Amino acid sequence: MLELNPEIVCLLISQAHEFHAKDTLRMPDDAGLSGEDSNMQGQTPFEDDITYQAFKNTVDDLEPDQQEILVALMWLGRGDYDLEEWDAALEAAHEQHNDRTAEYLISTPLVADYLEEGLAQMGYQCDE
């Protein structure tokens, strides 16, 4: 059972689709992966983007354990883990958790598709 409201995941999927659909989007090579980029002085080049802020605020408003579920769900949808390995995915997400979860997720180009697939494997779907 998913211990994160699927509606929140669906909202994030929608926000990620909107964000990644922008023609002018250029993601930094290491967004969210290794702390602060010295060239960005701790800021992302799209920090003023309203769709980025909506996504980031939604993720940041989640409790740490919910953020970990979200990351594990993305990994499930991406094929890094299968449903039988859900507990291992959660453990790995817990071990790797930091305060840049939103940046990590949004820097994954197909994050919306991966979250949607992860939800489907858990038996949920977004109403569109």
The Cα–Cα gap between 91 and 73 comes to 12
Q: What does the DSSP 8-state code read for residue 81?
A: S
The answer to the question of residue 30 being in a domain is no
pLDDT of residue 32: 46
The answer to the question of residue 116 being in a domain is yes
The answer to the question of residue 40 being in a domain is no
The answer to the question of residue 34 being in a domain is no
The answer to the question of residue 89 being in a domain is yes
* Residues spanned by the domain of 80: 6-20+45-121
The answer to the question of residue 33 being in a domain is no
Predicted TM-score (pTM) of this structure: 0.82
Domain count along the chain: 1
pLDDT of residue 48: 77
pLDDT of residue 82: 96
Burial class (CB in 10 A: 0-12, 13-18, 19+), 17: middle
pLDDT of residue 31: 46
Q: Which residues of the chain have pLDDT under 70?
A: 23-46, 128
Tokens of 76: 């499930």
How many helical (H) and strand (E) elements, i.e. helices and strands, does the chain have?
Answer: 6, 0
Residue closest to 60 by CA, chosen among 110, 105, 14: 105
The answer to the question of residue 90 being in a domain is yes
The answer to the question of residue 12 being in a domain is yes
